[in-house]
Amino acid sequence: MTQDEKEQWLCLADKFFSQGDFRAMRACAREILAMDAEDADGLALLAQASLYLGEAQGEMLVLIRQILQKQPEHLRTQLVLGEFYAGDFALPAEIRLLHKVIEQAENLTPGELTSSLRALWQRAECLLADAYYLAAMPNKAAEALFAASRLGMQPIQQAELYSKGLFMTNYYVMSVEQVRKLHWGYDTFFADLPAYSHVPERALAKRKLRIGYISADFRLHAAAYFMTPFLRDYDKNSFVVYCYAAGSSDVVTKRLRQFSVVWRDIRGLTPREAAKRIWEDKVDILVDFSGHTQHTCLPVLSYRPAPVQISGIGYMNTTGLHTVNYFLSDMCCLPKAEPANDFTEAVLRLPHCHLCYVPETVRKMPSVEEPSAYGRNGYITFGSFNNFAKVTDDTLLLWRAILERVPASRLVIKGKICSIPSGRAIVSERLLKLGMDVSCIELRPYSPDYLEQYRDIDIALDSMPYNGGLTTCEALFMGVPVISLRGHSHGSRFGASILENVGLAELVAEHETEYVAKAVRLALSPQNLSRLHACLRANMQESSLMDAKQYMHNIEALYHEIWDRYSE
């Protein structure tokens, strides 16, 4: 077998890998090994296929070790070992090995960097991003994803990885200039795409407006807790609603499909095909719930299948896409007096929170139990159930100050990172480096009954600059007050918007010192804390945050306004 023939088999194997067809990938490995039974690439491919098929893991690991004994620097085998570490959640070992693979790949000459090695390098960057994200290092995850994007062969793949990198940037503080430059760069991937044209005269007809909602998250997902009003509570005399579901289906999908909407399953369609389906439905206003989140639908919007397009709910920042006309926000997250210079879209501001929390479509909520955690324990328990990637060192230092000022208090940190030994070690190491007393901090693994575990918490501490959205709503619904810091960007004001719209403006801090002071003051006011615990859910249910009918009335007023603007 010539080197060119082998390269063709390796590239075909990579294609099968991206499609999840690991048996076909193994067949490619056997073609290579049929010509040379000792070929390291063929053996590494065989091991990789076995790893993802879940077959003979012990034998696969022995095979990897044998290859590396003969060729310690063999790139593909090192990558497979990194994938094994990833599956075993051995984060430090995985990160070290992937850095080694990337460093070797970077030192290859242009002549040595074949298509298969370029794909291998890109795979290593993606794995490294996943590892850094799980290890609560989103800045490093973003760097790896942007690097992977630059290695992409096709613009659509480059755009997908770049979009994932953009999502990671929301976890740490960036200047307006940095946000603008990075997000606006996303548009370059779609600059040459032909956008659909629309007939202006159609806008003048007196008829029901066709509203389309597109997302991969019409399922058990954080965004689904805020979708029900759009599908259930709209004015059926003025609008027809279309749902374009780009993701998998589950029991939540079935519940959402029961509402009076036209349902389109676009899973498996290319962005061009999905855009054609929307254009053929003659949707007037298309609303994207994904932004730069997993399985983004923004490539569909790049074709401008609807004359007016909006993004919001699922993402907390600009899309950077010039075919998106508007971004949905509110008066708290983006006050009128404050220019939204980092947004490519015109900002639509709702008078109340731009989120409307409706949990019952997604799940049955547990009851709030009496007494509160303090009433049972006699000491204050603070808690954070947010994704730990949102918790910066600056945030941890504020939590340290709170714990030091509230005698005998404890802190519960609950999340996926605490579910694995290497993750717990990473968290513990960070806490110790920051001088925190780990004896009063409990690291709890993620569990399906996490809502019931809010009964162990007296006060929830919000993360910054990436605030909790659903997490904050859930804590409040379970009777747990949340202390949040109002930040300087849209995403860092989610907490303030939610709290103000449930009548808890006193829990919103304007600066870091006040964040600590408000948490301490509430902790040292057991009567006030007990009152909040007893009445929070009822007050929340009566608030604008859960008033779906008024929320849709405000949304539809915006729809009419922007449609009239388009018609003119």
Average pLDDT over residues 478-497: 95
145 neighbors 281 (Cβ within 8 angstroms)? no
Q: What is the DSSP string of 444-490?
A: EE--TTTTGGGGG-SEEE--BSS--SHHHHHHHHTT--EEEE--SSS
Res 206 pLDDT > 80 = no
Average pLDDT over residues 124-132: 97
Take residue 395 and report the two structure tokens written for it. Answer: 């945030």
Confidence tier at 65 by pLDDT (50, 70, 90): confident
Task: Quickly count: other Cβ atoms within 10 Å of residue 394's Cβ.
Answer: 13
**pLDDT score, position 280:** 96
Average pLDDT over residues 209-216: 97
**pLDDT score, position 250:** 96
Encode burial over 74-83: b for 16+ CB neighbours within 10 A, e otherwise. bbbbbbbbbb
Looking at this protein, which amino acid is placed at residue 317? N
The domain ranges of the chain are 1-72, 75-172, 200-356+548-567, 373-546
Q: Is the peptide bond before 305 cis (omega within 30 degrees of 0)?
A: no
Q: Under CATH, which architecture does the 200-356+548-567 domain have?
A: 3-Layer(aba) Sandwich (3.40)
**pLDDT score, position 321:** 96
Q: How far does Cα 525 stand from its chain's mean position?
A: 36
**Class of domain 1-72 (CATH, top level):** mainly alpha
DSSP tag of 152: -
Q: What is the DSSP string of 334-376?
A: S-TTS--TT-SSEEEEESS-S----GGGT-PPPPPPSS-HHHH
The CATH number fitting domain 373-546, selected from 3.40.50.2000, 3.90.1150.10, 3.40.190.10, 3.30.1360.20: 3.40.50.2000
Q: Within 13 Å, how many C-alpha atoms sit on residue 154's CB side?
A: 4
- Terminus-to-terminus CA distance in the chain, angstroms? 67
Average pLDDT over residues 138-151: 96
Give the burial class of 139: count Cβ atoms within 10 A of its Cβ; 0-12 exposed, 13-18 middle, 19 or more buried. Answer: middle
Same fold, 200-356+548-567 and 373-546: yes
Fold of 75-172: 1.25.40
**pLDDT score, position 61:** 83
Strands 381-384 and 262-265: unpaired
Average pLDDT over residues 243-264: 97
**pLDDT score, position 291:** 96
Res 1 pLDDT > 80 = no
| Strand order, beta sheet including 441-445 | 441-445, 410-415, 381-384, 459-461, 482-485, 508-509
Take residue 299 and report the two structure tokens written for it. Answer: 């490539």
Average pLDDT over residues 115-120: 93
Res 59 pLDDT > 80 = no
Q: What is the dihedral of CA 46, 47, 50, 55, to 10 degrees?
A: 130
Among 46-60, 64-78, 290-304, which stretch is predicted with the lowest mean pLDDT?
46-60
Kindly report, residue by residue over 416-459, the tens digit of the pLDDT.
Answer: 999 999 999 999 999 999 999 999 999 999 999 999 999 999 99
Take residue 505 and report the two structure tokens written for it. Answer: 């403006």
Res 24 pLDDT > 80 = yes
Kindly report, residue by residue over 174-203, the tens digit of the pLDDT.
Answer: 888 888 899 999 999 998 888 898 877 666
**pLDDT score, position 522:** 97
Average pLDDT over residues 361-383: 93
Res 238 pLDDT > 70 = yes
Take residue 339 and report the two structure tokens written for it. Answer: 């220019």
Looking at this protein, which amino acid is placed at residue 345? E
Give the burial class of 197: count Cβ atoms within 10 A of its Cβ; 0-12 exposed, 13-18 middle, 19 or more buried. Answer: exposed
Helix (H, G, I), strand (E, B) or coil at 12: helix
Average pLDDT over residues 502-528: 96
**pLDDT score, position 55:** 78
Res 58 pLDDT > 80 = no
